[in-house]
Amino acid sequence: MSQMLPRRTVITFDPLTEHLKNLQPDEVNALHMMQGVYSNQIALTTAVISLQHQAINSDNDLHGLADSVAANTLPRLTPICNEIKENLNNG
């Protein structure tokens, strides 16, 4: 018993491709810069995860891992926490 598969629709107009074809040179440079930043961010994240994984596997240094996570996370969360407190006090 064979079933007929529906045909895939052929897209003749892709808005994203058309938009990318019409970018100005400075927009292309900005796009390449963002792509480089994103690639660097991925590489750094991978390195940090690898180091943390190695720290856990090597000597079960969970305290060191917790210190590392806190040192990387808390400075980013402090301004957000202060803003929330300010909004709660004013609202």
Angle between helix axes 62-90 and 25-59 (nearest 10 degrees) is: 130
Q: Whose CA is closest to 68, among 84, 47, 83?
A: 47
pLDDT value of position 62 = 67
Q: Write down the pLDDT at residue 58.
A: 66
pLDDT in tens, 25-80: 888 888 888 888 787 788 888 888 877 777 666 666 667 767 777 777 777 778 87
Label residue 5 by pLDDT band (50, 70, 90).
low
Distance CA 35, CA 29 (A): 10
The separation between CA 39 and the C-alpha centre of its own chain, rounded to angstroms, equals 10
Q: pTM score, two decimals?
A: 0.37
pLDDT 10s digits, 9-40: 776 777 878 888 888 888 888 888 888 878 77
Q: How far, in Å, CA of 11 to CA of 53, rounded?
A: 45
